[in-house]
A and B are shown apart, each in its own frame.
Chain A
Amino acid sequence: MSADLALSCPMPLGRHTTVQLAHGGGGRLMRQLLEDIFLEDFRAPALAERHDSAVVPLGGQRLAFTTDSYVVMPRFFPGGNIGTLAVHGTVNDLAMAGAKPLYLSAGFILEEGLALDELRRVVASMREAARECGVEIVTGDTKVVDRGKADGLFINTSGVGRVLEGVSVHPRRVTPGDAVLVSGDVGRHGIAVLSVREGLAFDTPVVSDCASLAPLVEALFEAGVEVHCLRDTTRGGLATALNEIALDAGVGLVVDEPAVPVDASVAGACELLGLDPLYVACEGRMVAFVPEPQVERALEVLVRHPLGAGAARIGRVTEGPAGMVSLRTRLGGQRLLDLLSGEQLPRIC
């Protein structure tokens, strides 16, 4: 080989000049997109707080306000559909700000040719989900676009809620010494959707965890638990949520890998596909940052609730380095639990 030895590498790609799918993946590229374009131009103080909801004053009260769009494919999956997701996702973003969700809007972008029966099923699911969450869908909008201009059905929901009296949850409140709790096993939603989308059949079907977290949050505050910050572990999964908080709070996090609950069927599917369950999306799980003396009480409250039955303490907040999340592996080693640079892609072999 020596005579033929040649070192060859390509030129750097540089920054992307067009939007890539990975810009929506919740990882490093998405954060870059938000910083370079949206935060740079909109510049509102509430936006710069990078909370799941903006918290703004209104008539002597604090209003939580949020919006989210839902483009999931397939639209129906074990444990929910695009409609239940659109209600629960926005309700959860309000709950993560310590708010009681009150009112939602619903905007629909419909592609020419979508079966009306399917639309009816989605809307009925939204009505039912809203009823369960104790919120009202009070306004909306509908647009129809030409065939091929949208993937059947996109939904946007916005929501407002009232921040609970005396409650202040926020990334800036996260301090070294806080414990990191997770409300249940992670990765279910992403694997449930993937299993339908790719036609993968597992011995035990994986059902999405899609659910409203508002009752769980309310239970914590009703029990008087002091909570510094909450974050739902949606796009990019647990690892991304932890990285976001570490970056925004300017702290380090140490996570204990064996303590992170992962259902055996989810773990098995991830092994098969070469995915890391810590980066797979959830739609009914959150992380909570609580001061050490509150840990026992917080876990008691969480595990008593059906949505938090699998709650666990998974790590702690450290002085730094700021923004660094490290993972103690099950073998006792230590590694980085980083933001992904793109979407997770199934491996080759």
Chain B
Amino acid sequence: MRYVEEYRGADEARRYARALQSLVTRPWTLMEVCGGQTHAIVRFGIDQLLPPQITLLHGPGCPVCVTPVEMLDKALAIASRPGVVFCSFGDMLRVPGSGRDLLSVKAAGGDVRIVYSPMDALALAERLPEREVVFFAVGFETTAPACAMAVHEARRRGLRNFSLLVAHVLVPPAMEALLAAPGRRMDGFLAAGHVCTIMGMEAYEPLARAYRVPIVVTGFEPLDLLQGIHMCVAQLESGRATVENQYARAVRVVGNESAQAMLREVFEVVPRTWRGIGPIAASGLGLRAAFADWDAARKFDVVSVGGREDAGCQSGLVLQGRLKPPECPAFGTRCTPDTPLGATMVSSEGACAAYYRYRRFQSPCPPTSP
């Protein structure tokens, strides 16, 4: 736990809280983009340490939450096929598509497996040559290089029974979509540190300039977040709007260039629909034509049955920072992790899941009996 505990010190956290108190002169609203940051904020009670003038909004940074229903339906259709071993990160298994999730497919006899890396799925394909192994490639720029590596390796080794169902999304276009939307609420951003570890910080410069918004690349531990908030508020108080790096121990300005090269070789930028938000141009990654043989969507030729939606769910507003989970009338009543209306309630990085799990006693709804 070295390098973790030292970012969780209570005394240092209180020092940051005091520093913020003396720094802030007016209300500011900051948005953290990453679901991991949202969970850390709610889990450690970081927002409870902040001066009342500072409001944190939760952004669209949960890759599970923003994977569209249509993509989930394709995953469910492929996973249900005999002869298929469908591999996924654990988070995706409980997220509902049109009426069911991957765990239901598993309970009904589908071979659905949790893996920790796409390379594990590749190894499975090598061990099970008679089966089709499909990996559900979900995630931001953080997980995409490992998926690119897996496909690259599959081609190199001539493994034809391995494929990716690709649903990767890119963070900067989503941030721009939020900034360009009318009624913008955030004064500054805490950008997702892990994403910048791969991609660097350059993509954020045009956003900071064009929209006059401070962007602080921030880590995930409590002291990272408090320092990131302090840096962002310091910019706002002094009228600056630039990109700064709180997470310098992990993030270089240029990012990880070999990972970027691997991404460029295997993927191309494509338009992508974000669950709860809608289509955003140039916001996703798809396999290049040279890797079409490893594209599960082509290989299995699945079509979406058209996601059925619940009009009462407001997770789109939550993902855009326009609504806090407890403000949703369905929160904790009609919508719970056992009966989710939206992915934000079941994903382990979803904002609604964070509030349900850690803060339900602060909402108007009493805790539900099990």
Contact = CB atoms under 8 A, between A and B. Distances in A.
B98 A349 contact: no
Interface stretch (A4-12, A175-183, A212-220, A300-308): A4-12
Given A1-B278, A12-B341, A323-B367, A267 B94 contact: no
Interface stretch (B39-47, B78-86, B259-267, B293-301): B39-47
B14 interface: yes
A1 B181 contact: yes
A24 B238 CA distance: 55
B310 A348 contact: no
A338 B367 CA distance: 10
- Prevailing SS type, chain A contact patch: loop
Interface string B100-141: 110110111000001010000000000000000000001110
B307 A8 contact: yes
Interface residues of A, number: 56
B143 to A, nearest CB: 5
B276 A8 contact: yes
B370 A10 contact: no
Given A12-B334, A13-B101, A1 B178 contact: yes
B211 interface: no
Given A6-B316, A13-B100, A348-B138, A1 B341 contact: no
A310 B93 CA distance: 36
Interface of A: 1-2, 4-16, 18-22, 28-29, 31-32, 35, 198, 200, 247, 258, 264, 267-268, 271, 273-274, 321, 323-324, 326, 329-336, 338-339, 341-342, 345-349
Interface stretch (B228-236, B248-256, B354-362): B354-362
A147 B63 CA distance: 40
Contact of A10 (B8, B97, B337, B360): B97
A19 B106 CA distance: 11
Contacts of A15: 338-339
Interface string B336-370: 11111111001011000000111111000011011
Query: Which of B90, B97, B138, B313 has most A Cβ within 10 Å?
Result: B90
B342 to A, nearest CB: 4
B360 A336 contact: yes
A245 to B, nearest CB: 13
B275 interface: yes
Contacts of B92: 348
Contact of B336 (A1, A18, A336, A341): A341
Given A9-B316, A10-B98, A331-B46, A326 B114 contact: no
Interface centre among A247, A271, A332, A339 (most CB of B within 10 A): A332
A341 B316 CA distance: 23
Nearest to A14: B339
Contact of B10 (A331, A335, A342): A331
Given A4-B279, A11-B99, A198-B116, 6 more contacts: A8-B307, A9-B309, A10-B309, A20-B107, A21-B107, A349-B139
21 contacts: A1-B177, A7-B316, A7-B317, A8-B68, A9-B312, A11-B310, A11-B341, A12-B341, A13-B104, A15-B339, A21-B103, A31-B370, A198-B116, A273-B116, A333-B48, A335-B358, A342-B103, A345-B91, A346-B114, A349-B36, A349-B143
A211 B315 CA distance: 46
B182 interface: yes
Nearest to B334: A12
A335 B43 contact: yes
A2 B108 contact: no
Given A332-B10, A345-B91, A9 B341 contact: yes
B142 interface: yes
Contacts of A198: 116
